[in-house]
Structure 1
Amino acid sequence: MYVFLDTNIFHNNWFLRSAPLRLLFHYLNNESGALIVSRLVIQEVENLHRRALEEAYRDIRSISSTLSQLAPAVVVEATSHESVNSYDLKSVLVDRAECLEIVEYEGISQTLIAERAMLKIRPFRENEKGFRDTLIWISLLDYLKENRIAGDVFFITGNTSDFMGANKGCFHDDLLQDITSKQLLCNLQLVTSLQEFLRGHVDSHEHALDRNKAENEFSRYLEENAVQFLQHVESRLASVLSERLFSNVGILANSSPITAEIVEGLEDFYFVKTEDLGNNEVYVSCLFELRIVELKIDMSAREFENHRDLILSSDSVYDADQSHGIATVIMYVRPGFLASFTYNQVTEECNGFSVEKFSLVEKGRRLKNLFPNTLK
């Protein structure tokens, strides 16, 4: 699936931070979709940004002049225009889209453009307006043809006067003829706004996050909170360890304390559910495991001696040390968690970690099998 964005979709969204654009990029990245942008669109947006920046500085100078007349002691300062980093839309797009295709237009025949202008073939209209839109259109068709693009391609533009025909939501007849003559393999569809595309194709809860990026952002938070959980639920952890490692003999019933340290961290992460809560907050339910966690468990030396053979026979037990009547058993385990938390997309902070279920992932078993019916 491919999405093409026209110039007007980017206007006043220079850094792609608006909620609709953010949702679009989440959707494309999660579904392995590609964003197509014309080189000319990039140049147009960068030119619009430059003009908007110049206008903003003119406004500052005007306000400063007016303010100095009203209150001479007040000085309005702004970063010098020259010191502002140049705006590079391509870099912004590369940072947002995992798959970005840029369509070049230098090879378009000027003779073809002139003929279309004289015959007023869309996107050309009266007074030969439509030169840039025609370059964008023809170069896109050539790209789709030359690269044998198949499947759905959505052409999203707010410029309905130049691209849309009498039938609302459909390309103008001239453009439909272009599509037919190119014998494209894809299904090129006109969409007249980004909101229309999102309403028709994107589940805002399912794609509330860019899942690949989010997994990396969440890893440290999940590791830290999972270790804290293991250390603060000693009785539950001891019960699970007794059940899985020592056949419910109750060896660990009186053990304390339990300390946990990660040797190898997050692995086999799965999203169970995401939900947009509003105000940039996203609810996240997930499955994950910590590949290797070292547990140190203290118990009485007498208890240890009573069950020495059983304890040391466990594949998970690495070592045991006795001192002053206390035996410290060191074991390596692979805990799995079904947990939830909230994530703020603006502050990029996670909060409210909660574990619904946890267990040990045994050798040869998969995390998903540990919590059946959790994943769709």
Structure 2
Amino acid sequence: MKINTPKLPIFFEYIVFISFIEVFFFIILNNIGFQVFQLVPYLRIIVIFFTILYILRKVKIPLSTFSFSLDKTSENRLMFFWFLITIISFIIGLLKFNPILYLLTDFLYLIFGFFIFRLIKIINKKKQFFYKLNNKQAKYFIGIIIILTLFAAVLEVVLPSFLVIFTMCYGLYLLKEKEYKISFFYFIPFLAQIFTANRALILVLAVIIFFAFTIQKISIRNVILFLLSSIVSIFVLFYFLEDILSLVIDTMKESSALKQRLVQLHSVFSGNINWNTPAALSLKQRLVEINLVIDYWLSNFFNFIFGGGLGATLDGSTFKDKGVVASAILGKGHVHNIHVLPFSILLRYGLLGLILIFLLVDFFLKYFKIILFKNKEQLLPLYLFVFCWILYSIPAASYLWTTPLFWISLSINSDEN
């Protein structure tokens, strides 16, 4: 008996495809012997490779993909400038003899992003990559994702971050559309790994909750309700947060990643944080990286203007965070992944990077206003995703430009601005 399954828009079909690919190869690489942090760079290259294969199977690539477009959308301005400084920084990286592996991967990620952005922009109107799922499609899509979630949970595999964040964004969209029952299921991927969630993902959840209260509901009544809720929440946090955190921490397993995050938070609020303890190690690592980047940036005029170029690295010989050291393919003497987004950009691009940071902030604020005030019903999940993905990348910079879904979403949005 043939089962008729709903046909999904290409955008959702791609998410299903690439999510299964990432989980599958995560398992393969992990079984080979790669630790979580070590396998990430290889996983990103695999995702890009299979994204190219998927797109080649779906569409013919027009020659105009490789041309510039001078339309005045903020998305296009961002891409044009980012492409321009990437070319400049590639040359700087060559002149500085940066590690060829990092130089090429930096270049690949960003050129691929530009290529995807241009391609989707050109063919989106013909192919209609993204449109709202009907009820059957929404159930079918999340049903597949829940199966993947259960599979990952059994094998103790972390789901792709883009999948968790996008399903939360689409769940919020369905909630806003008053499709309450189905919207709950879109938060299952997040709930399934809440105990392994990092700080960035918890921050995204907080933003999703904020938008749930405020999105297109700005009125005197709702403003008053939100302010009162905020005051009560702040009061509770101020007086009872330490006790609440202590209670929650005591009930959690020692191996829980979320417990470590809460221990950090508890130490900060109590004013007794010890930077030399394992609980504060990841926070201290980011501060060390920031100081090294600032020292490098201000070390001479050339570095101030152009930065270190693509492939730039820091000497991590003194780093104590084993996760950072383990993910450095070329060893701790050449640490490439700088966590905090503005400083990661600053290391690569210098003063030119400050302009890019300004464009990203302006872009971020623009999307914030669109989400809250403008009636972009069908594309709301994509505006939410891009906004949340930038937010997610602030403490984990490399996620921003290595995830194809970010560039695809950005491109579809640009047609509406």
Q: Does TM, normalized by the shorter one, top 0.5?
A: no
TM-score by length of 1: 0.22
Point out which structure has higher relative CO (alpha carbons under 8 A, 6+ apart): 2
- Which structure has more strand as a fraction of its residues? 1
- Which structure has more helix as a fraction of its residues? 2
